[in-house]
Amino acid sequence: MSDLRIQQPDDDVTLGDWRYVHNEIIPTHLLSLDEVRERAQRHHLEVAYLGGVVVGCSTVRPPSHDTSTATVIARVLAPHRGQGFGAELYARGLDRARAWGAEVIETVVLSSNEDGLRFARRHGFVEIERYLLPGDTIAWIDLRLS
C-alpha cells in the first residue's frame, strides 16, 4: 500500500473522483458535482488513489451540537476491495471523528452492498436500523460500533 495516497478533494477533478466512487457504490442516490461541493462544506471527505487510479473515498459526518455521534463511511470500488484500502480509509475517518469529540460511531450501508456490510460487521458494527428513503426500493442499514 506504499503507493496509496489519500487526500481531501479540493478541486473539481478530485471532487469528481470522490463523486465517481460514491455514485458507483450508491447507484440509488447519484450525486451531482454541485451536491458534492455542498457536502464537502458540511462533512470531511477524502479520496484514495493507488498510483494515479482512484480506488475509494470516505465521508465523516461530524457530531451535531446535540449528540456525540459521528458517522464514518468508507467506500472502495469493487476491483480494489480486499487489499486494505477500506481499512485505511476507515481508520482515518475514525481518527477524525474522535478528534471532533465523537463518543459514538455509526455507519450506513446500502443493503445491496454485501461487501460493505461484511466490512462493517468485521470492524465491530452492529445493525441498529433498516429503512427505505422516499422513492427507494433498496433499504439503507444504519450500524453502530459496539
Residue 117, all three cell numbers: 456490510
Confidence (pTM) = 0.94
Domain ranges of the chain: 4-145
Per-residue pLDDT of 6-54, as tens digits, reads 999 999 999 999 999 999 999 989 999 999 999 999 999 999 999 999 9
**Residues near 57 by beta carbon (within 8 Å), at least 6 away in sequence:** 17, 18, 21, 22, 45, 46, 47, 48, 75, 89
CATH no. for 4-145: 3.40.630.30
* Residue-wise pLDDT tens digits, 77-97: 999 999 999 999 999 999 999
